[in-house]
Structures are given as C-alpha cells and as structure tokens.
Amino acid sequence: MWQFFHKLGSPKWFYGIAARLMPWLLVLGLLCLGAGLVWGLAFAPKDYLQGNSYRIIFIHVPSAFLAQSVYIMMASAAVVTLVWRMKLADVFVKAAAPVGLVLTFISLFTGAVWGKPTWGTWWIWDARLTSMLILLFLYGGVIALDRAINDEKSAARAVAILVLVGVVNIPIIKYSVDWWNTLHQPATFKLTEKPSMPAEMWVPLLLSVIGLYLLFGWLACLRMQTEILIREQRTRWVQDLFHVNGGAR
Amino acid sequence: MMIKPLDQAVGSIDAMKAVFARDMKVAFRQRQDLLNPLLFFMMVVTLFPLGVSPEISFLQEAGAGILWVAALLSVLLSLDHLFRHDFDDGTLEQLVLQPQPLFLLVLAKTMAHWVLTGLPLVLLTPVLGVMVHLDGNSIAILCLTLLIGTPVLSLIGAIGAALTLGLRSAGVLLSLLIIPLYIPVLIFGTGTVAAAAEGAPVGAYLALLGAFLVLALTLAPFASAAALKVSLSNS
C-alpha cells in the first residue's frame, strides 16, 4: 500500500501508467457515451409531457453530475497536496479545474436550452441553477489564482487552500439557496427528484454518465501528462523520451 | 510601526491583545483609511435610487438587499489593507515568527479589521435605512443581521486577502475568489429582513447566520494562517 502511495508521487511512474491507461479510457468512454447518446437521442421513447425536448437530459445530467464530482475530486487532491505535498495531486487539480469549468458551463447552457421549452424561460433563480452558477465562479477563482502565482509550489498550496475553503461552502450553498428559494417561491421545478423513469430512459442516461466519467479520466490523464512534461522538462527521463541530446551522448 | 517582540513567556491571549491594540493604533493614525469604506458604502447606496428608481415602494422592497450588497462591497474594498501594509514593511514576517500560534494572531488582526470597518458600517446602517424608507422594525433586523454577518465577511475575506498577498492585480483577484464565498451570507442576511417584513419568525435565520459566524470563527483563521505562510514563502 505504502509503496503504491510512494510510487504515486513519482511523475515518471504516473506518466507511464497514464500512457497505458489512456487508450482504454478513451475507447470505453467513447463507446459508453456514444451508445448512451445514440440510444437516448434516437431510440429512447418520447416523454409523454415534454415530447422530444427532454432528450437534452442525456447531455445535461452527465455534465452536471461530473461538474460536481470533479470539484470533490479536486478537493480530495487538495488535501493530499497540503498534507503530503504530493506533486501529482497538485498536477491533477491544475489539470481538472478547466475541465470542471467547461462541464459546469455545459450543464448550465444545456439547462438553459432545456428550460426555454419546458419552463418558458432561459434562466430562473432556482436553487439548483444558482448553486451551479456559484460552482462555475469557484472553478473560475481556482483557475485565476493558479494563473496569478508564478511560483509552482506556492501556487499549488494556495490553490489547495482555496479549493478546500470552497468545498466547505458547497453544502452551505446548496441548502441555503434551497431555503432562500422556498421563501420567495415554491420549488416548482426540481431536477433532483427524478420521475420514475422507464428503463429505456435511465439505462442510456447511466451509460452516458459512465462514458463521460471515463472520458474525463482520459482527458485528465492527457492534461496531467502535458503538465508533467512541462514541469519535468529538464529531467533526464523527459529528455530521453523525446531523444533530446540523445544522439550526442 | 514596529511590533514589540513577544517572547515565549507571553501567553497567546496577551499576544492577541497586543496585535489587536497595535492594529487599532496604526489604523487611527491613518484615519482616512477608516473613512474610505464608509464613504464607499454611502455612495453605492446612493447609486440605487438614482440609477434604478427613487420610488418609495421599490426602495422599501429592495432597500435591505441594497444595503447588504453595499456593505459587502465595502468590506471587500477594505480587505486589501488587511495584510498589505504589514506585508510591505515586514511586520507580517515577524508575526509568523512569533512563538504564539499564527492563527490566533490572524484572528486578532481580523477582529481589529471588523471593528474598524464592519462595525462602523453597522452603525451607519440606520441612517441609510431611513434614506431608503425602511421601517423601524426592518432597520433593527437589518442592523442585527449586519452585526452577525459582517464579522463573517471579514473572516472569510481574510483568507482571500492572505491568498492574494503580493500578487499583481490582487484587488480584482481577491473579489473573484471571495464573492462566491460571500453569497450564502448575503442570502441569509437579506432573507432575514425579507422574512421579518412578511411577519414571519426570524429566529431560524438569525440562528443560521450565527452558525456561519461560529463556523467562520473556528475554521477561517486556520485557512488564513496557512495562506499567509504560503504567500510569505512566495515573496
């Protein structure tokens, strides 16, 4: 266990593992997401109330789902950064934050597109929407802080502190906005309470969620590899990898 | 102003008192810095009747929110000063080197910051509340929410101020980092006044604001202290 933990701290070791893992993640992810989307968008039965417009759920829910869990993953990595000073954890936070930002944006955007035919409005200050918007801001703050600090180690620890402070805030945001909302208007639209869906609907949905998770894994590996190469560009193994000065020696 | 060296024999509470007293003394030697957030507060509140609508009905409805947002913004504006001068003249490094736990000293500094900015805002609120036509009961509740809420703003803001210390364009970055964290406080602060206006009981809201305060008091100084150490090692 501890040896594994120790190895996980080595960028070189991770680089190799990621390279072996990535094709699997990519192929399986594309298969799952492709199957889920094709099934969901083309073959799943129509919703009796919303007709075809509900089909955006197959994009909306996976991205919203992942947007939140990416933040939680980043928070776990932030703990590792602060406690064990593990380089890879910080590389993960840096690699995942922009992906999380984009996923949050996708879920907000698809939510707006879905909201127009269903609720009759692009945007509503509903609990869910507002908390996702705050999540978008949190991601933005993490990225901005990371870009602003030049020193790599300081940036890693500062960003880790910010991510952790943000995660304390996430349940607070969720519940506070819930209560705040009930005061002004009853929650007419709840995305959390799923209607009892038939299997032809939830199976493709589950497939898309799993597929997006796998694709996120692939993308995170790719971005982490890039970041590792940038950081370790002066080390021997990276130069060997690209045969820099290889011929001369 | 140099800080007196605190040796090991000095208790943590005494050290906190010393830091607090010093911050007060420094602040009162630069009185303009104390006035600026208050002037900003009043100006922002003035913008709403002029920019949106001077109708009494609108102001009565939106007044509490306007005052809360304005207070939030002026606390945000004042945060840049929290550690900046001490950082520039090296006092902060001396604080970090003290044998007493840094988070306690940061807590003392944050408390001084609240007494110098948050508390004056609360005291000014009744005047501005009358100007936006809030009734007496709403003003009292509003002052109470600000009294509980502004220390939370200072405590959370200290984390952001510590994180952005010594960075380029720290002011804008500070706002980006901190505003999302302020949103729950704002929601409950204005929610309390809205509930009071509807005649609903406000005990639960105040209790939750109090919970925020306790949470921020216990956790935020640790985060600020950790962030300060990072920023100092960075410079």
Angle at A159 between CA A158 and CA A164, to 5 degrees: 100
Percent of chain B residues past pLDDT 90, beyond the cut: 60
- A116 lies in a domain? yes
Beta strands in chain A (DSSP E): none
Q: Total domain count for chain B?
A: 1
- B26 lies in a domain? yes
pLDDT digits (tens, 9 = 90+) for A119-131: 778 887 777 778 8
Listed in sequence order, the DSSP H helices in B90-202 are 91-97, 102-113, 119-131, 136-163, 170-197
- B3 lies in a domain? no
Cβ–Cβ of B169/A148 closer than 8 Å?
Answer: yes
Angle at B184 between CA B59 and CA B164, to 5 degrees: 105
CA-wise closest residue to A92 among A170, A149, A6, A9: A9
Q: Is the pLDDT of residue A174 over 80?
A: no
Cβ–Cβ of B176/A144 closer than 8 Å?
Answer: yes
**Domain span including residue B120:** 12-234
Look at residue A132 in the predicted model and tell me its pLDDT. 85
Residue B161 touches partner A, C-beta closer than 8 Å = no
Q: Token pair of A222, please? A: 């790719």
Q: Which residues of A touch B226 (CB under 8 A)?
A: 82, 157, 161
Work out the pLDDT band at B117, boundaries 50, 70, 90: very high
**Domain span including residue A77:** 27-188+197-244
Name beta bridge partners: A47: A51
- A2 lies in a domain? no
- B116 lies in a domain? yes
Q: Determine which of B152, B176, B198, B235 to mutate to test the interface with A (most A C-beta atoms within 10 Å).
A: B176
- A227 lies in a domain? yes
Residue B196 touches partner A, C-beta closer than 8 Å = no
- B198 lies in a domain? yes
pLDDT digits (tens, 9 = 90+) for B91-116: 899 988 888 899 999 999 999 999 99
- B105 lies in a domain? yes
Q: Determine which of B187, B212, B222 to mutate to test the interface with A (most A C-beta atoms within 10 Å).
A: B187
- A8 lies in a domain? no
| Distance of alpha carbon B54 from alpha carbon B59, whole angstroms | 7
Report pTM. 0.86
B28: distance to nearest CA of chain A, Å? Answer: 32
Q: Total domain count for chain A?
A: 1
Residue with tokens 């190799």: A16
Residue A78: CA count within 13 A, CB half-sphere: 26
Cβ–Cβ of B212/A82 closer than 8 Å?
Answer: no
Reported ipTM: 0.86
pLDDT digits (tens, 9 = 90+) for B151-199: 999 999 999 999 998 888 888 899 999 999 998 899 889 989 988 888 8
Q: Determine which of A147, A176, A181, A184 to mutate to test the interface with B (most B C-beta atoms within 10 Å).
A: A176
Cβ–Cβ of B163/A161 closer than 8 Å?
Answer: yes
pLDDT digits (tens, 9 = 90+) for A15-67: 888 889 999 999 999 999 999 888 888 887 777 677 777 788 888 888 988 88
Q: Which residues of B touch A171 (CB under 8 A)?
A: none
CB A149 within 8 A of CB A158: yes
- B173 lies in a domain? yes
